Chain A
Amino acid sequence: MESMLLGKRVLRAVGMCALLALAVCRVAYAQVEVTGTVTSASGSNLQGVTVRIRGTNTTTTTGADGKYSISAAADAVLVFNAIGYKGVGQALNGRTTVDVVLEPSVAVLPEVVVTGYMEEQRKNMTGAGTSVDAQSIQRQTGASALQALDGRAAGVTIDNSGSPGSRTTVRIRGISSFQNNDPLYVIDGTPVQDTYLNFLNPDDIASVEVLKDASAASIYGSRASNGVILIETKRGKPGRRQVTLDVTTGVASPVNGYDNIVITNSLDYFKVVKTAFRNAGEKPPANIYGDSANPSVPAFIWPNNGSSQTTDTLNTASYSYPNNLIMPGSAGTNWWKAVFGTGQVRNANLSVSGGGDDNSYLVSFNYLNQQGTAAYTLYQRGGVRINTKFTMSRVTVGENLQINREQSYGGLDDNGLGEDNIVGKNIFQQPVVPIFDIAGNFASGKAPGLSNLSNPLMIATVGQHDVNTNDRMFGNVFGTLDASHGFSLTTRFGFNLDQNNFHSFSGITPENAEPSFNDGINENYNLFTEWTWSNTLNYARSFAKHNLTVLLGQEATKNTNRFEAASCANLLTTDVSERYIQDALCDPTTKNVSSVGSIASLMSFFGKADYNYAERYFLNVTVRRDGSSRLGPSHRWGTFPAVGLGWRVSNESFYPQNFFFSSMMLRAGFGITGNQLIPPDRIVSQLGGDRGATFYDISGGSKTVITPGFQITAIGNPNLKWEENRSLNVGVDLEFNQGKGSFSADVYNRKSNNLLFAPALPATAGAAAPPIVNIGKMQNKGYDLSLAYKGVIAGSTFWSVSVNGVHYHNEITKINGTAYIFYPTNIIRDQNPVINMIGQPIGAFYGLVADGYYKDSLDAAPYWADGARPGRIKFKDLNGDGHITSADRAIIGSPHPTFTGGLDLGLRHGNWDLSATFFATLGNKIFNEEKYWYVFRYFDTNVRQDLLANSVVLNGPCNDVQGVCPGVVTNPGAKYPRLDANDAFSRQFSSYWVENGAYLRLRNIQIGYNLPTALIRWIPAARVYLQAENLFTITGYSGLDPSLPAPDVTGPAGDVRDQYLGIDQGVYPSNRTITIGISTSF
């Protein structure tokens, strides 16, 4: 025992000495310039081979002539790597010329991309695809790996809110459907329809490939019409065991706060109220601030004494909760600061990988803990991934498996949207309302005039134990048989098991203007099971200059879902430990349970042939045939063909040898993809009965028995058929300046036909959910560009820049039947700001057209009966009928950008590296629905700080009576209409609500330092870095954050969020996150 320990110590000491010696020696050796040529076994010069000095990040690549040059220490070891070749290491030992011959490798290396049941070389792709650097995925601190696509993949747009664990919405090349535009995700070969991908640990991801056009994606035909995102997780590589540990910690704060926008001083706020009442001919309320000529902060805002609160003296001893609350007045509550602050982010990832001749493995462990910037919101995720592969002669078997748990605390809506949560309208509590009453219980606007909103900190506090738990087992097992002669067979069984439990509590709110004395709990449980079994046969053969790959396959998928919900009210105690649905713990007569479920299946057959001649002429042909249980029996099978053509011009003999463009590939593809992602079971009419909708107390007078009733709840359509997307793509890939630069451009035209949607029927058809129909056509035209360049300064400073840009133009080109328009389903406070209309993009903003302000009573007179008054917003009478009505509405803007772009910068000098990513969007409009509150003061909310100073002023009085209104507008260019408590006219949805949504944001900046190998003896290699996300934003948008997540809206046809793009309904703002991290590998 003793001796063993001693031995270890000796060994360690020796090791240390050796390391020290190395470090010392290193200083002693001078830098030398090493040159050489890399050739293939067949003798041709290899271009693009990476030459790296072992133990450093110093690299170079070989030119077209296979030559390289690098400055290295005389004792350095050079490592040569190239795709498709086995790596080679060469110790310099004083040499200055090192020529290397690389042997072909069968190992899969990154530049080979997985493009649908098979792998192919990126340079041979004829379809439009984009790869995302795995490093950039790990460069962000959010829970979702998809956030990394933001600004980094041409043709892909991303949005999400700052809420921890919020859903990330990904759109590829515009929007092709009225519902469900999520791309298909394929993770390690297993398709996922559930697009809430937060269960996936970003650190586990090896590569992300985006298939954007039909010729690339149609092998996934049935579900590929919105594009396909292929995600491959990291695998072990044969060789030594490698252990990596990445630890990140940081702090997040909101990029902007409402306290920068709304008033935080009570008396300043009252000035607005007073002016609004006076201008309306109403007496300013005196109950809170006393004499409006000389207002003061009240001693108490509740109890309401009916006149003035300012002189009130109360017996505060009479306070009792919840029946007799006493709330002091506040000189100015900063409600934003009361709820929002900083949140910590912590992430740790450990992975062990390696392999032998016949196996490879990777096991990784991850824990993420992300506090929200809003009080009591938290997301945490822990998981393990196991990827292994065993090769036994001609048979390979393996699995990719992950098991993890996600938990969200704080009960926020998905994306943190809407009026009723801590971010929405509740942040607009008036500044005079204190956070707490005199006894430390939550206060709110109970007194008249203080708005019927809840205390946002109360909502956050009460919801802190609301937990959403997601347990997921996801992955696949596979087996491959190399059947020789170029044939191989693969079978893969994928599974996606998710169980979700959510329980929440709602408390009493005696402090509210609309108090509630009933509390209650909800508990939901959801079980989702999906399996996908695919079998493929591959054949690859090269003869002479002909290269052929053929794939044949078959796939079946089935998913089942069951959702159970239960609730109970009036709890005996509110202890967290007693929030269970049991007769003894709540009022058993209020217990309520329900469950719903669905089953859907898909069956597919497919084939693909890739052929090229001498790597000059390329032809890809794909056919897929899919059957879906969601569609009508006679229409459920769809066929989705695609063809791709490519011409690598640079491989032609006539191509000039030293041309500026060293590589040139022209591509064209056409294909059809499908979409059937509608709720299941809509091919038949559904009947049902709901106690609140169809049951009725027909016998009269009873309190416990109610007679069941039935109605048609949804109208079915047995003729439902596939939505189809026809896409044409033409692209070019160029490399220039000896491969230092690359340029890629694609133009496309995507036409969707037989679009699936459930437009509203006339109300005369009844209230049943309308049938889903194949309703029309939509077109997306656009281009994606990317340009990258790598350079070297003075031989030791490496820089890179890459730019990508996206443009699409979305247009509804046909709506079937007789309708030329239809509305989405969601009404926002009695008004609807969007419409779908032929010739317009999906979700176009729709409303009256604002045209300044009515300048005097003469100007307003024609529309007086409609509510027009001097100083109110003037609307155009578009139909000329002499009235301003909803018939005067028109298209007033589009949420779609005309251009979005990303810019990635990289710089490396010695052990230091610096990178930055910018994102910009141009031409998109935002419908700022928050104007309801902070401009129009609907519901007595707080208002913008400059509202009083920048609103229209009349030079004389004007009350509501026509003919007694001498006032004339003195400042027609004012930002806001005249303050007028009775002005419901100006508040109508109009172009006044539409703002420019353009912005430029520094998404990410990171500075890293590679610790020299010998600096810390027990860490062979490590990189430490400091990074900032969303450091600054340049925008003209007046709201909180121009980066809006698509709201979470579901209609009869499923997810319809794309019809509500660009509507700001109160968004959990993006986070500015500063993190430090360390990555090590052993």
Chain B
Amino acid sequence: MKTRKWNMLLIGTAIATLAVGVASACKDFLNTAPQGVLNEDALATPDGVEGLLIAAYRDLDCNNSSVGAWGCAASNWVWGSVPSGDAHKGSNLGDQAPIFEIETYLWSAGDVQDYLNQKWSQVYDGIARANATIRLLNKVIAAGGLDSGSVQAHGIRGEAIFLRAHYHFEAYRLWENIPYYTENNTDFKSSNQNVQVIDSIVTDLNTAEKLLAAGPRNGDAGRASAWTARAYKGRVYAYAAAKNVAYWDSAKATLDQVVSSGPYALETSFDHVWTAFTQYQNGPETILAYQASVRDGEPNGENSNFGERLNFPYAGSHFGCCGFHQPTFNLLDFFQVDANGLPLAETDPNWNNPAPTAVIPTSDTGNIWKGFNFIGGNPRPVDPRVDWTAGRDQVPYKDWGLHNRSWIRDASYSGPYSPKKNVQEDAANGENNVGWVPTQTNDVNIHIFRYADLLLLLAEADIATGNVDLARGFVNQIRARAGQTAQGCGINTSDPNQAAAVADELNAYPTCAGQTSMTVTLNQVGTIDSVTTPWAVYRIGTYATPWTDPVAALQAVKMERRLELAMEGQRFFDLRRWGDADTVVANYVAIEKNRIPYLAGASFGARNHLYPIPAIQIELSKVGSTDMLVQNPGW
């Protein structure tokens, strides 16, 4: 009996001791360390700040958006190209319907909202990352981790401020009325009314320009330098001039300085501008580009040209999918030239073909695009850039063989042409090997701002400031470069899968036998460069007569801009900047709707000058019952 009591006492004591022990240990017990994540202290080093800066660059394209990354593509193809008359949505009727609504100016529709929100979220995430970089930099400097006057500190700050300016400019181009965020502004519900966006961007670019060195830091091609900031500032001034012509003086001064003293130049030939050949990437023409990367270990290929991934020929081609961002008939027609190799559109009001009667076809037979194609008994001379810009049937598609109708998903829906600039060359080995349709993820860098663009902005500035003939020089510089090479026969014969393509091409064009180069050189005679290939007569001339009429000169510059930058996501913003959007879009739709029936309902109104601010962001901006973000007019 006694033992039992002892036992009980022992057991009771043991339990009590354990309970007390557990209780006293409870403070530590509840302090569990976060698993597998970094905290800010771990990154409060110069290397950590550099890492935050890298992430700020990464937002130049969408990231980690495995679904619907198209709204925030680096190229702005959805916002700058599709609604401008350069491109149709492409593909077929059902796929990515929101882009159909963007193309037909139905921007109030519910599913456009997600696209708008993708773009808004991408640019403001870029801004947030840039500002986080600056804040951490300040913290590291304050803690003595880095000298505030060091090259590294200046470089990090300058690049981050530059990126912040760029992202705000992107937002400005779509919405104009936007809030501006610096590293000191952590109230994420700032108003978008009466914000001096241009002034803020210019201020930031000036700061960046002062902080940055002439060349990219560490020799990294992707980094912004003082020249990047200066060139970008010229671009921003040109946009500002659309509101206040006085800015043309600033634009001219800035851009002149870049042209006269900057490191930039045009690539030697047009096919080196958009390319997967590493040796041509980040050449002298690149001012700012999204640096696409493949086979870098990312399991879904997300660092590649992700935003452009839909914009490849369809199932019959090597790429396999998805046929978006198809050039319009209007764009193809625009590449026609006259006897002098100058744009036919300058002199022939019927350049875009006489409009057929606007009757809905009642017959079910026949293909409605017939009669509008260059091919088929109508080999009008064309600017050689057309076949670096658009894929068309029976024309070699870079070094992949002849483009043909099976490469088109549904030609009756949005025409027979394919995008081309963003497509990798077969021989360049720039393709991915992982993720969904890796044949369409490549490392072709996405140009955000390139030197030809800058030259044409300077041409505009010269015209606006009374130096009309100076503009001609820049336009001719670009046209002369365009006259260097045209699309040639060459197929990448080292690709074993191309044997059938070679046979097809030789069957169609026996003269291609032995022609292995992807390019063919134009014959340069005086002011006209030309070459005749089995599929096209290429011709391009420079403007020989001095320009005196600023109106005609501006017209020529605008045309050159369209030809040079076609499909690069710039045109819609240009049209708006010029105040041309209403008439150009109306003229475009009036004829294009006869080829693309769904455009019949497309109606461009005053409210389409600015994109609607995503509704969800307006709702999230509420302070009390007040929307801090005010919707753009008409939406």
Contact = CB atoms under 8 A, between A and B. Distances in A.
Interface of A: 280-286, 291-293, 303-304, 306-307, 393-395, 446, 448-449, 451-452, 481, 483, 489, 491, 513-518, 520, 533, 535, 554, 556, 558, 567, 569-570, 587, 589-590, 592, 595-603, 605, 627-629, 633, 636, 680-681, 684-714, 760-768, 818-823, 827, 829-831, 847-848, 864-867, 869, 883-887, 937-941, 959-962, 981-982, 984-985, 987-989
Given A452-B95, A686-B37, A766-B124, A700 B445 contact: yes
Given A680-B34, A703-B443, A959-B600, 12 more contacts: A304-B316, A448-B409, A483-B8, A535-B19, A687-B38, A698-B220, A703-B296, A705-B296, A765-B188, A820-B622, A940-B92, A982-B598
Contact of B108 (A516, A885, A939): A885
Contacts of B113: 830-831, 886
B109 interface: yes
Contacts of B26: 556, 603, 627
B616 to A, nearest CB: 6
A556 B97 contact: no
Given A451-B94, A483-B12, A698-B222, A691 B297 contact: yes
B95 to A, nearest CB: 6
B525 interface: no
Contacts of B619: 821, 823
B326 to A, nearest CB: 13
11 contacts: A283-B368, A518-B433, A599-B35, A687-B40, A689-B55, A709-B51, A767-B128, A830-B111, A938-B97, A940-B92, A984-B101
Nearest to A702: B293
Contact of B600 (A760, A763, A960, A988): A960
Given A601-B32, A691-B296, A691-B297, A940 B110 contact: no
Contacts of A633: 31
A436 to B, nearest CB: 19
Interface residues of B, number: 137
The 10 closest A-B pairs by CB, nearest first: A960-B601, A766-B128, A700-B221, A709-B54, A692-B302, A709-B55, A697-B293, A681-B34, A988-B110, A830-B111
B597 A282 contact: yes
A689 B635 contact: no
B8 A696 contact: no
Nearest to A303: B406
A763 B125 contact: yes
Contacts of B106: 865-867, 984-985
A696 B597 contact: no
Contacts of B601: 867, 869, 959-961, 982
Nearest to B320: A515
Nearest to B110: A988
A600 B296 contact: no
Contacts of A601: 29-30, 32
Contacts of A556: 22, 26, 29
Interface string B361-400: 1001101100000000000000000000000000000000
A452 to B, nearest CB: 6
A761 B188 contact: yes
Contacts of A303: 406
A556 B25 CA distance: 11
B501 to A, nearest CB: 13
B157 interface: no
Nearest to A304: B406
B7 to A, nearest CB: 8
Nearest to B358: A961
Nearest to B429: A703
Nearest to A555: B22
Nearest to B623: A818
Contacts of B302: 691-693
A693 B57 CA distance: 10
A865 B95 contact: no
Contacts of A570: 433
Interface in B380-427: 405-406, 409-412
A556 B23 CA distance: 9
Contacts of A761: 188, 620
Interface string B5-36: 00010011001001100110010011111111
Nearest to A766: B128
B180 to A, nearest CB: 10
Interface in B53-94: 53-58, 63-64, 68, 92-94
B258 interface: no
A459 B239 CA distance: 51
Contacts of B410: 285, 448-449
Nearest to B322: A514
A701 B30 contact: no
A554 B22 contact: yes
B110 A848 contact: yes
Contacts of A764: 124, 127-128, 179, 181, 188-190, 617
Contact of A700 (B56, B129, B282, B430): B282
A402 to B, nearest CB: 26
Contact of A830 (B37, B52, B93, B98): B98
A937 B94 CA distance: 8
A558 B188 contact: no
B115 interface: yes
Nearest to B608: A865
B110 A699 contact: no
Given A489-B12, A761-B188, A959 B98 contact: no
A704 B296 contact: yes
A887 B281 CA distance: 45
A701 B38 contact: no
Given A765-B128, A766-B128, A699 B108 contact: no
Given A603-B30, A695-B58, A589 B320 contact: no
Given A556-B26, A687-B40, A695 B54 contact: yes
A686 B34 contact: yes
A707 to B, nearest CB: 5
A938 B111 CA distance: 12
Given A701-B221, A961-B601, A690 B64 contact: yes
B278 interface: yes
Given A698-B291, A701-B278, A939 B94 contact: yes
A280 B190 contact: no
Contacts of A695: 54, 58, 296, 298, 303
A687 B299 CA distance: 21
Contacts of A867: 101, 106, 108-109, 601
A629 B4 CA distance: 41
Contact of B51 (A280, A605, A689, A962): A689
B222 A681 contact: no
B266 interface: no
B100 interface: yes
A489 B33 contact: no
Contacts of B220: 698-700
A395 to B, nearest CB: 8
Contacts of A960: 598, 600-602
A982 B124 CA distance: 33
Interface string B111-136: 11111010011001101110010000
Contacts of B34: 680-681, 684, 686
Nearest to B497: A323
B93 A554 contact: no
Given A700-B220, A940-B94, A883 B635 contact: yes
A363 B314 CA distance: 62
A710 B364 contact: no
A710 B97 contact: no
B52 A829 contact: no
B223 interface: yes
B434 A518 contact: yes
Nearest to A533: B22
B39 interface: yes
A627 B39 contact: no
B605 interface: yes
B597 A281 contact: yes
